[in-house]
Structure 1
């Protein structure tokens, strides 16, 4: 069900032409910085993959992939990608990428089951990245190191926006705060997941919430994760599980937290088997991706996705993602957004 957040006294700081200029500058600058920080090379990515190979991202396991028959392949079914979480790991192996290096790509997806709103559209565009890592780096310290390097690129990009558009003042803190989902639950036990995220994001400005997918002490996960890419099972020295997380910043225009990235250390053979069992999806072991992982053909890796339109929306202080990307919206939302000063492209 679509839902429109109505920013109080919203006024776009940039016109249409300035917005388009800002979008290009942000995308060009950030991806170059991301590539330099993590030693990533750009590769070409698919818009669709064959159904039934276990390559497509299952997200929370309930979203339907847009699909179509391929006439020249006997009507074999193809699916529009949800993300490239597993495809990237196959590519690391096939390209023979060395340890300490990786790949990034422009990921474009259609998510027909998305609930449309200020932050969600049918079209998803993000930088998907994946880096080969040593098995010895399967720990929280390494995850935090990579998050800090990505965050440094985010801070530098915000300053570029300020240099180009002085009316947009930087608001990101110099450092990001780390907190585990269980610690967040203990701090705000009576709040919903989203309310907890809003509280911590408003307090610190930028946070990375660790441990997404595994059940917390209340018997529920902070948020859903498919069982076959992020490691949300491994326990650290403090007893908390999960080697993944979400990067969330405080969005003053909408007055709430805003997720910019989801990332994590990927499953190895043992963790994959464990998470498939926990989630009751052991039948996936026979799929193409899973068999290659279980046969030891895929490298240990860390990876994630960073929303392109969301990043631009945050930096340019826009109230709706439809001010950044062209799309289809419910007519009522389009009219209401127009009245609020948020004309949707």
Structure 2
């Protein structure tokens, strides 16, 4: 378990009751702003998918999904989703969405192997979104424009929160600093990736780090990323400076998705070419699925950021180890 940090001077601006009301307010405001900015339609999301369907996301490749058997399906096994990156692209195809339109889902997941700290929980709640794009839109400029639209939606939500709750002082800088993971390594070659993020975001409070997944000049990737949804040359993480914890906070991971060429290349680099046997991967290679851009936006993380909370347990209900409970006792009200 990572160290739990509770600033000595910390005191929540809102009571538990006010916090619960504020969480609902943030979610309503942000969904309205996000759907308007990204042109999205809400759809129902799966909680689980069939095991070995190829639809579940393996994130960094090390996380184990929660698995259970289903007797009614002749004892086939199902997996609780990690995220919906691949499922959404299939859904856009099946629901007959066209270029310029997209979907979003209110996703809940379990990540059993997640380390517990101020920002991480085994329970994940996020807005998972995906939009159909054209071949011409598979560019860095289009990615940046989409990131800016998302940041504007967060800024609009923050303004509404501050109006409703004057005790909240969070400021969202909507001027996004874009930097590649290689440029970040070049700036801070002696720091770890997380230390680089901290150093850069402290000076650039709204940052989008691009091109995550492939190896850098050092021989190591900035962060691990599954090879079969994001195109590693056209993706990134959106981070904000979180003043109460004095750290960089990732709010969203997103990107333009793999086409046939990038999928095969990334599967080969990751030595998982056997995934081409899955229906999803075969459809990408055969150009049967639409080209898309998409990502996930952490609901609890966004609430933490906008409500100036110092522990994710203040805005979601989960399970916590004894050390976390002790660190928060008398200082932080966990839900």
| Correspondence for 1:305 | 296
Match of 2:214 in 1: 214
Shift in Å, 1:302: 0.3
Q: How many residues align?
A: 335
1:124 aligned counterpart, secondary structure: strand
Between the aligned partners of 2:171 and 2:196, the Cα distance in structure 1 is: 21
Matched with 2:199 is 199
CA contact (8 A) 2:16 2:333 kept: no
Decide whether the 8 Å contact of 2:170 with 2:307 is kept in 1. Answer: no
**Equivalence for 2:40:** 40
Cα distance in 1 for residues equivalent to 2:84 and 2:156 = 26
For the pair 1:342 / 2:332, whether they are aligned, the reply is: yes
1: CA distance between counterparts of 2:2 and 2:245?
16
Which residue of 1 is the match for residue 163 of structure 2?
Answer: 163
C-alpha distance in 2 between matches for 1:206 and 1:38: 19
Contact kept? 1:126, 1:308, Cα under 8 Å: yes
Q: What is the aligned-residue RMSD (CA, Å)?
A: 0.9
Partners of 1:85 and 1:50 in 2: CA distance: 15
Give 1:104-253 correspondences, 5 Å limit: 104-232=104-232, 242-253=233-244
Give every structure 1 segment of 4 or more consecutive aligned residues whose post-TM-superposition deviation is greater than 4 Å.
none
Deviations 1:109-148 (A, max 9, x none): 0000000111001100000000000011111000000000
Matched residue SS, 2:85:
coil
Instruction: Work out the CA distance in 1 between the residues paired with 2:297 and 2:174.
Output: 19
Structure 1 residue 169: deviation in Å? Answer: 1.7
After superposition, give the CA deviation of every residue in 1:249-290 in whole Å (9 maximum; x if it has no partner). 001111110000000000001111111111100000001211
Give 1:236's aligned residue: none
Q: Secondary structure at the match of 2:41?
A: strand
User: Cα offset for 1:84?
Assistant: 0.2
Equivalent in the alignment of 1:77 = 77
Between the aligned partners of 2:317 and 2:215, the Cα distance in structure 1 is 37
Cα displacement (A) at 1:328? 0.7
Aligned pairs for 1:237-276 within 5 A: 242-276=233-267
Shift, 1:177, TM fit: 0.9
CA contact (8 A) 1:54 1:284 kept: yes
Name the SS for the 2:231 alignment partner: coil
* Structure 1 residue 296 corresponds to structure 2 residue 293: no
Q: TM-score, normalised by structure 1?
A: 0.96
Q: CA deviation at 1:336?
A: 1.5
In 1, the alpha carbon distance for the partners of 2:210 and 2:291 equals 19
Structure 1 unaligned segments of length 5 or more: list them: 233-241
Alignment check: 8 A CA contact 1:334 1:343 kept: no
Displacement of 1:53 in angstroms is: 1.0
| Native 8 Å contact 2:69 2:77 kept in 1 | yes
Q: Separation in 1 of the partners of 2:294 and 2:11? A: 36
**TM-score (norm: length of structure 2):** 0.98
2:322 aligned residue: 331
